[in-house]
Chain A
Amino acid sequence: MQIPFTVAARPDTGLHNAKLGIWLFLASEVMLFGALFSSYILLRVAAPEWPHGSTLLNVPLATLNTVILISSSVTMVMSWASLMLKDFAKYKHYMGLTILCGLLFLLVKGFEYGAKFSHGIMPGEDLFYATYFTLTGLHGLHVVGGIVVNFYFWGPGSKMWQTEPQRFTNRIEVAGLYWHFVDLVWIFLFPTLYLL
Protein backbone atom coordinates (compact mmCIF):
# COMPACT_ATOMS: atom_id res chain seq x y z
CA MET A 1 0.00 0.00 0.00
CA GLN A 2 1.25 3.46 -0.91
CA ILE A 3 1.26 5.91 1.99
CA PRO A 4 0.06 9.27 0.65
CA PHE A 5 1.68 12.69 1.26
CA THR A 6 5.05 11.51 2.58
CA VAL A 7 6.83 14.24 0.64
CA ALA A 8 4.28 16.64 -0.80
CA ALA A 9 2.12 18.64 1.59
CA ARG A 10 -1.50 17.62 1.92
CA PRO A 11 -3.53 20.49 0.42
CA ASP A 12 -5.92 20.80 3.36
CA THR A 13 -3.34 20.65 6.20
CA GLY A 14 -0.38 22.22 4.38
CA LEU A 15 1.82 19.50 5.93
CA HIS A 16 3.19 16.12 4.95
CA ASN A 17 1.40 13.41 6.92
CA ALA A 18 4.33 12.32 9.09
CA LYS A 19 4.79 15.85 10.44
CA LEU A 20 1.16 16.17 11.52
CA GLY A 21 1.28 12.61 12.87
CA ILE A 22 4.30 13.18 15.08
CA TRP A 23 2.91 16.43 16.47
CA LEU A 24 -0.37 14.74 17.41
CA PHE A 25 1.64 11.95 19.04
CA LEU A 26 3.72 14.53 20.95
CA ALA A 27 0.49 16.21 22.09
CA SER A 28 -0.55 12.86 23.61
CA GLU A 29 2.92 12.59 25.18
CA VAL A 30 2.45 16.02 26.79
CA MET A 31 -0.67 14.62 28.46
CA LEU A 32 1.12 11.42 29.54
CA PHE A 33 3.97 13.28 31.25
CA GLY A 34 1.52 15.99 32.33
CA ALA A 35 -0.53 13.42 34.25
CA LEU A 36 2.62 12.23 36.04
CA PHE A 37 3.74 15.80 36.82
CA SER A 38 0.26 16.59 38.12
CA SER A 39 0.35 13.48 40.34
CA TYR A 40 3.81 14.51 41.56
CA ILE A 41 2.54 17.97 42.58
CA LEU A 42 -0.45 16.44 44.40
CA LEU A 43 1.74 13.93 46.26
CA ARG A 44 4.35 16.51 47.17
CA VAL A 45 1.90 19.18 48.36
CA ALA A 46 -0.02 16.61 50.41
CA ALA A 47 3.06 15.01 51.98
CA PRO A 48 3.84 16.08 55.57
CA GLU A 49 7.50 16.41 54.57
CA TRP A 50 9.44 16.02 51.34
CA PRO A 51 13.24 15.78 51.06
CA HIS A 52 15.18 18.26 48.94
CA GLY A 53 16.26 16.34 45.82
CA SER A 54 19.91 17.37 46.16
CA THR A 55 20.19 15.69 49.58
CA LEU A 56 19.39 12.26 48.11
CA LEU A 57 20.30 12.45 44.42
CA ASN A 58 23.53 13.12 42.55
CA VAL A 59 23.22 16.69 41.18
CA PRO A 60 26.62 16.78 39.34
CA LEU A 61 25.76 13.56 37.44
CA ALA A 62 22.29 14.87 36.55
CA THR A 63 23.82 18.17 35.40
CA LEU A 64 26.21 16.17 33.21
CA ASN A 65 23.22 14.29 31.77
CA THR A 66 21.47 17.60 31.06
CA VAL A 67 24.52 18.79 29.14
CA ILE A 68 24.68 15.46 27.25
CA LEU A 69 20.99 15.56 26.27
CA ILE A 70 21.05 19.21 25.18
CA SER A 71 24.17 18.45 23.10
CA SER A 72 22.37 15.51 21.50
CA SER A 73 19.50 17.81 20.52
CA VAL A 74 21.97 20.07 18.73
CA THR A 75 23.65 17.16 16.90
CA MET A 76 20.17 15.86 15.95
CA VAL A 77 19.10 19.15 14.41
CA MET A 78 22.52 19.40 12.72
CA SER A 79 21.98 15.95 11.16
CA TRP A 80 18.75 17.23 9.61
CA ALA A 81 20.42 20.47 8.47
CA SER A 82 23.21 18.38 6.86
CA LEU A 83 20.62 16.51 4.78
CA MET A 84 19.02 19.82 3.79
CA LEU A 85 22.49 20.83 2.55
CA LYS A 86 22.75 17.46 0.70
CA ASP A 87 25.76 16.40 2.80
CA PHE A 88 25.10 12.74 3.62
CA ALA A 89 28.53 12.12 5.19
CA LYS A 90 27.94 14.93 7.68
CA TYR A 91 24.48 13.55 8.38
CA LYS A 92 26.00 10.18 9.33
CA HIS A 93 28.52 11.95 11.53
CA TYR A 94 25.94 14.02 13.44
CA MET A 95 23.39 11.20 13.72
CA GLY A 96 26.15 8.93 15.05
CA LEU A 97 27.00 11.56 17.67
CA THR A 98 23.30 11.85 18.61
CA ILE A 99 23.12 8.08 19.19
CA LEU A 100 26.35 8.16 21.23
CA CYS A 101 24.99 10.99 23.41
CA GLY A 102 21.79 8.98 23.95
CA LEU A 103 23.79 5.93 25.02
CA LEU A 104 25.99 8.07 27.27
CA PHE A 105 22.87 9.52 28.93
CA LEU A 106 21.63 5.98 29.65
CA LEU A 107 25.04 4.97 30.96
CA VAL A 108 25.09 7.86 33.44
CA LYS A 109 21.46 7.15 34.40
CA GLY A 110 22.34 3.47 34.85
CA PHE A 111 25.23 4.48 37.10
CA GLU A 112 22.85 6.62 39.19
CA TYR A 113 20.30 3.79 39.43
CA GLY A 114 23.07 1.30 40.24
CA ALA A 115 24.31 3.47 43.11
CA LYS A 116 20.80 3.48 44.60
CA PHE A 117 20.24 -0.26 44.08
CA SER A 118 23.60 -1.11 45.64
CA HIS A 119 22.46 0.73 48.78
CA GLY A 120 19.27 -1.33 48.77
CA ILE A 121 17.17 1.65 47.65
CA MET A 122 14.39 0.39 45.38
CA PRO A 123 11.42 2.25 43.85
CA GLY A 124 9.30 1.07 46.78
CA GLU A 125 11.61 2.74 49.35
CA ASP A 126 9.32 5.75 49.89
CA LEU A 127 7.15 8.26 48.05
CA PHE A 128 10.15 10.34 46.93
CA TYR A 129 11.95 7.41 45.32
CA ALA A 130 8.71 6.03 43.87
CA THR A 131 8.11 9.28 41.97
CA TYR A 132 11.82 9.61 41.08
CA PHE A 133 12.05 6.13 39.56
CA THR A 134 8.66 6.42 37.80
CA LEU A 135 9.41 9.77 36.17
CA THR A 136 13.05 9.09 35.24
CA GLY A 137 12.21 5.48 34.27
CA LEU A 138 9.51 6.53 31.81
CA HIS A 139 11.80 9.23 30.44
CA GLY A 140 14.62 6.68 30.14
CA LEU A 141 12.34 4.37 28.13
CA HIS A 142 11.68 7.27 25.77
CA VAL A 143 15.44 7.73 25.36
CA VAL A 144 15.78 4.01 24.54
CA GLY A 145 12.97 4.29 21.95
CA GLY A 146 14.63 7.33 20.37
CA ILE A 147 18.00 5.57 20.17
CA VAL A 148 16.42 2.56 18.42
CA VAL A 149 14.73 4.78 15.80
CA ASN A 150 17.84 6.96 15.33
CA PHE A 151 20.03 3.87 14.96
CA TYR A 152 17.74 2.53 12.25
CA PHE A 153 17.96 5.83 10.36
CA TRP A 154 21.73 5.92 10.85
CA GLY A 155 22.17 2.34 9.58
CA PRO A 156 19.82 0.29 7.39
CA GLY A 157 17.13 2.98 7.07
CA SER A 158 19.57 5.46 5.55
CA LYS A 159 19.44 3.60 2.22
CA MET A 160 16.35 5.65 1.46
CA TRP A 161 18.62 8.67 0.89
CA GLN A 162 19.71 7.10 -2.42
CA THR A 163 16.17 6.62 -3.73
CA GLU A 164 13.95 9.19 -2.00
CA PRO A 165 16.13 11.92 -0.44
CA GLN A 166 13.31 14.33 0.43
CA ARG A 167 11.26 11.60 2.10
CA PHE A 168 14.32 10.53 4.11
CA THR A 169 15.00 14.15 5.13
CA ASN A 170 11.39 14.40 6.34
CA ARG A 171 11.87 11.20 8.36
CA ILE A 172 14.90 12.70 10.10
CA GLU A 173 12.99 15.89 10.83
CA VAL A 174 10.18 13.86 12.40
CA ALA A 175 12.59 11.66 14.40
CA GLY A 176 14.24 14.90 15.50
CA LEU A 177 10.95 16.36 16.74
CA TYR A 178 10.54 13.30 18.98
CA TRP A 179 14.13 13.51 20.21
CA HIS A 180 13.81 17.23 21.06
CA PHE A 181 10.65 16.45 22.98
CA VAL A 182 12.54 13.90 25.07
CA ASP A 183 15.14 16.62 25.75
CA LEU A 184 12.37 19.07 26.64
CA VAL A 185 10.87 16.67 29.20
CA TRP A 186 14.28 16.27 30.85
CA ILE A 187 14.68 20.08 31.02
CA PHE A 188 11.66 20.08 33.37
CA LEU A 189 12.41 16.79 35.16
CA PHE A 190 15.95 17.82 36.15
CA PRO A 191 15.10 20.86 38.34
CA THR A 192 11.88 19.27 39.62
CA LEU A 193 13.52 16.10 40.94
CA TYR A 194 17.09 17.17 41.69
CA LEU A 195 17.04 20.87 42.58
CA LEU A 196 13.78 21.47 44.46
Chain B
Amino acid sequence: MEHASPEAIKKHVRTYVIVFVSLMALTVITVAISYLHLDVTAAVIVAMFIATIKGSLVASYFMHLISEKKLIVLALILTAVFFIALMALPLLGYHDTIG
Protein backbone atom coordinates (compact mmCIF):
# COMPACT_ATOMS: atom_id res chain seq x y z
CA MET B 1 0.00 0.00 0.00
CA GLU B 2 2.95 2.34 0.71
CA HIS B 3 3.87 2.58 -2.96
CA ALA B 4 0.44 2.39 -4.60
CA SER B 5 0.08 4.34 -7.88
CA PRO B 6 -2.27 7.37 -8.11
CA GLU B 7 -4.56 5.29 -10.36
CA ALA B 8 -4.73 2.55 -7.73
CA ILE B 9 -5.55 5.10 -5.02
CA LYS B 10 -8.30 6.66 -7.14
CA LYS B 11 -9.75 3.18 -7.59
CA HIS B 12 -9.60 2.77 -3.79
CA VAL B 13 -11.52 6.03 -3.36
CA ARG B 14 -14.36 4.70 -5.55
CA THR B 15 -14.45 1.58 -3.36
CA TYR B 16 -14.64 3.74 -0.21
CA VAL B 17 -17.70 5.52 -1.58
CA ILE B 18 -19.43 2.20 -2.36
CA VAL B 19 -18.59 0.88 1.13
CA PHE B 20 -19.89 4.10 2.70
CA VAL B 21 -23.23 3.80 0.87
CA SER B 22 -23.47 0.11 1.85
CA LEU B 23 -22.80 0.93 5.52
CA MET B 24 -25.50 3.61 5.51
CA ALA B 25 -28.00 1.24 3.86
CA LEU B 26 -27.22 -1.50 6.40
CA THR B 27 -27.67 1.00 9.26
CA VAL B 28 -31.14 1.90 7.96
CA ILE B 29 -31.98 -1.82 7.57
CA THR B 30 -30.83 -2.61 11.15
CA VAL B 31 -32.99 0.15 12.62
CA ALA B 32 -35.98 -0.72 10.39
CA ILE B 33 -35.84 -4.39 11.39
CA SER B 34 -35.81 -3.43 15.09
CA TYR B 35 -39.28 -1.90 14.58
CA LEU B 36 -40.61 -5.30 13.43
CA HIS B 37 -40.28 -6.49 17.06
CA LEU B 38 -39.03 -9.99 16.23
CA ASP B 39 -38.65 -12.40 19.12
CA VAL B 40 -35.39 -11.99 21.05
CA THR B 41 -33.45 -14.89 19.48
CA ALA B 42 -34.30 -13.88 15.91
CA ALA B 43 -33.63 -10.20 16.67
CA VAL B 44 -30.18 -10.98 18.14
CA ILE B 45 -29.23 -13.20 15.19
CA VAL B 46 -30.35 -10.64 12.58
CA ALA B 47 -28.79 -7.63 14.36
CA MET B 48 -25.44 -9.38 14.93
CA PHE B 49 -25.43 -10.75 11.36
CA ILE B 50 -25.84 -7.24 9.92
CA ALA B 51 -23.31 -5.78 12.40
CA THR B 52 -20.81 -8.46 11.36
CA ILE B 53 -21.28 -7.57 7.67
CA LYS B 54 -20.78 -3.87 8.50
CA GLY B 55 -17.74 -4.62 10.66
CA SER B 56 -16.23 -6.80 7.92
CA LEU B 57 -16.69 -4.00 5.37
CA VAL B 58 -14.90 -1.51 7.67
CA ALA B 59 -12.07 -3.95 8.45
CA SER B 60 -11.64 -5.18 4.87
CA TYR B 61 -11.74 -1.87 3.01
CA PHE B 62 -11.16 1.09 5.38
CA MET B 63 -8.54 -0.86 7.35
CA HIS B 64 -7.22 -2.53 4.15
CA LEU B 65 -7.26 -5.99 5.70
CA ILE B 66 -8.22 -7.45 2.35
CA SER B 67 -4.73 -6.70 1.01
CA GLU B 68 -2.76 -6.71 4.27
CA LYS B 69 0.45 -8.66 5.00
CA LYS B 70 0.24 -12.25 6.25
CA LEU B 71 1.72 -11.46 9.67
CA ILE B 72 -1.15 -9.12 10.56
CA VAL B 73 -3.76 -11.59 9.35
CA LEU B 74 -2.10 -14.32 11.46
CA ALA B 75 -2.07 -12.08 14.54
CA LEU B 76 -5.77 -11.34 13.99
CA ILE B 77 -6.66 -15.02 13.55
CA LEU B 78 -5.04 -15.65 16.94
CA THR B 79 -7.01 -12.70 18.37
CA ALA B 80 -10.23 -14.10 16.88
CA VAL B 81 -9.63 -17.49 18.55
CA PHE B 82 -9.25 -15.83 21.97
CA PHE B 83 -12.21 -13.52 21.28
CA ILE B 84 -14.46 -16.49 20.46
CA ALA B 85 -13.28 -18.25 23.64
CA LEU B 86 -14.15 -15.10 25.59
CA MET B 87 -17.64 -14.98 24.05
CA ALA B 88 -18.14 -18.68 24.81
CA LEU B 89 -17.41 -18.23 28.54
CA PRO B 90 -20.92 -17.00 29.46
CA LEU B 91 -22.41 -19.91 27.48
CA LEU B 92 -20.34 -22.36 29.54
CA GLY B 93 -21.69 -20.71 32.68
CA TYR B 94 -25.25 -20.83 31.30
CA HIS B 95 -25.03 -24.58 30.65
CA ASP B 96 -23.36 -25.31 33.96
CA THR B 97 -26.25 -26.62 35.99
CA ILE B 98 -24.20 -28.37 38.68
CA GLY B 99 -25.02 -26.90 42.06
Contact = CB atoms under 8 A, between A and B. Distances in A.
A27 B75 contact: yes
A140 B47 CA distance: 22
Given A31-B86, A34-B86, A177-B63, A16 B2 contact: yes
Given A78-B13, A191-B48, A63 B83 contact: no
B30 to A, nearest CB: 6
B94 to A, nearest CB: 6
Contact of B16 (A14, A77, A170, A173): A77
Main secondary structure of the interface of A (DSSP, over half): helix
Given A45-B94, A70-B23, A184 B69 contact: no
B98 interface: no
Given A59-B34, A70-B20, A187-B55, A41 B71 contact: no
Interface string A1-27: 000000101000111100110011001
A195 B46 CA distance: 11
Contacts, number: 127
Contact of A184 (B2, B6, B55): B55
Contacts of B2: 7, 9, 16, 166, 169-170
B7 to A, nearest CB: 10
Contact of B83 (A31, A173, A187): A31
Contact of A187 (B9, B17, B34, B51): B51
A188 B58 CA distance: 12
B70 to A, nearest CB: 8
Nearest to A37: B87
Given A27-B79, A78-B13, A195 B47 contact: yes
Contacts of B54: 187
A190 B6 CA distance: 36
Chain A interface size, as a band, is 35 or more
B66 interface: no
Interface string B52-65: 00110011001100
Contacts of B69: 13-15
A146 to B, nearest CB: 14
B27 to A, nearest CB: 5
Interface of A: 7, 9, 13-16, 19-20, 23-24, 27, 30-31, 34-35, 37-39, 41-42, 45-46, 54, 59, 63, 66-67, 70-71, 73-74, 76-78, 81, 84-85, 166, 169-170, 173, 176-177, 180-181, 183-184, 187-188, 190-192, 195-196
Interface of B: 1-2, 4, 6, 9-10, 12-13, 16-17, 19-20, 23-24, 27, 30-31, 34, 40, 43-44, 47-48, 50-51, 54-55, 58-59, 62-63, 69-72, 75-76, 78-79, 82-83, 86-87, 89-90, 93-94
